[in-house]
Amino acid sequence: ALLHREAGKTLLDAVAELREAVDFLRYYATQAEGGAPRGTFACISPWNFPLAIFTGQLSAALAAGNAVLAKPAEQTPLVAWRATQLLHEAGVPATALQLLPGAGDVGAALTSCPDVDGVAFTGSTETAQAIHRAMAENLTPGAPLIAETGGLNAMIVDSTALPEQAVAAIVESAFQSAGQRCSALRCLYVQEDIAEDFLRMLTGAMDVLVMGNPWDPATDAGPVIDEEAAEGIRSYVAKARREGRVLKELDAPAPGHFVAPALLRVPGIKAMEREIFGPVLHVATFGSEELDRVIADINATGYGLTFGLMTRIDDRVQHVTEAVHAGNIYVNRNQIGAIVGSQPFGGEGLSGTGPKAGGPHYLARFRAHPAEAPA
């Protein structure tokens, strides 16, 4: 209920998030033995996964033996409070896990505190860079920053792709959670040979999306997080509308922080100056001989979080997955919803510092190297 009311999560998303939080607890618990802790970790989590990422960060830090100062997003403090309460009831000492709700000033204080021995952060690339600078000036040299940030995530659909499968995956990747996932699809490349029919099918699939109260089982997409976010996305789409680039736009319910899913035409990913964190999908077309140029343009963004490929050519799968620089690459499925322990999640370049959450190397970053271990 808190995920519905505070974060706008649909029923499907809320259940999946609860399961992911439990998966993190179980997965890191199995790796809790071995290695010395670093000391005290500041864990700064986002509003778009206010239970799963919040729990994943702090459970990894605790499993490695650290104390945790948990700072949730200011938009979702109640979910974090309830999770912390449950962890305390389950036996985590209050002295080992403390909740520090608040705005950005709380996070800034934590990441500038010399008594903090490491920081785990999920959020924007710009904030991660600011945290890195603050840590360099105030924390002990070598204090780790474990950061997972955003991305300009792309998908390529070639002429051999099964269109029904591709459309379902695209709608899920771009519009589930109202597009508020760092892994969400932002730029779709469709081979020009199939583009007209394929886009007709895609816009038809958009027509059946249901927006409304997130606790209604019929709802496919709820509101975005707040009015500031909604206005920013609406302004971006309005500019595209003035430029004649809107291919499809739904009607959003009123009142509330609802933003209509939109499909915008772009010449390519190079035309996207920043990540739009909402239900906005950009689409470009490419010729069969331009595949390597498309891959080069995707890599040139500097981001590397998720990538999707729809094709039935085995050689193309091999070629593209070896060439694309992204932490999580998905073939013939959606590109959201990585599974803890099965699909460790994280990016490279501007999208994260690695190692991946929910993977075998994550806990090592929360532990001291032998030379750093406390006496």
Active site residues: 148, 182
Distance from C-alpha of 5 to C-alpha of 40, rounded to nearest angstrom = 32
The Cβ of residue 338 has, within 10 Å, a number of other Cβ atoms equal to 21
- What are the residues facing 249 on neighbouring strands? 262
What are the φ and ψ backbone dihedral angles of 227, each rounded to 5 degrees?
-65, -35
Q: Are 64 and 118 in contact (CB under 8 A)?
A: no
Q: 116-155: buried (b, 16+ CB within 10 Å) or exposed (e) per residue?
A: bbbbbbbbbbebbeebbebbeeebeeebbbbbbbbbbbbb
Give Cα 15 distance to the centre of its chain: 17
The Cβ of residue 221 has, within 10 Å, a number of other Cβ atoms equal to 27
Token digits for 227? 């009015």
118-122 and 145-148 strand pairing: parallel
Q: Using alpha carbons, list the distances in angstroms from residue 140 to 71, 112, 367.
A: 20, 10, 15
Distance from C-alpha of 282 to C-alpha of 233, rounded to nearest angstrom = 13
Q: At 185, which amino acid appears?
A: L
Q: Are 279 and 296 in contact (CB under 8 A)?
A: no
Q: Are 77 and 51 in contact (CB under 8 A)?
A: no
Token digits for 275? 């990540």
Q: What SS3 class is residue 180?
A: coil
Q: Are 138 and 112 in contact (CB under 8 A)?
A: yes
The beta-strand segments (E) located in the chain are 36-37, 40-44, 67-71, 97-99, 118-122, 145-148, 154-157, 187-191, 246-249, 262-265, 280-286, 303-304, 306-310, 328-331, 348-349, 367-368
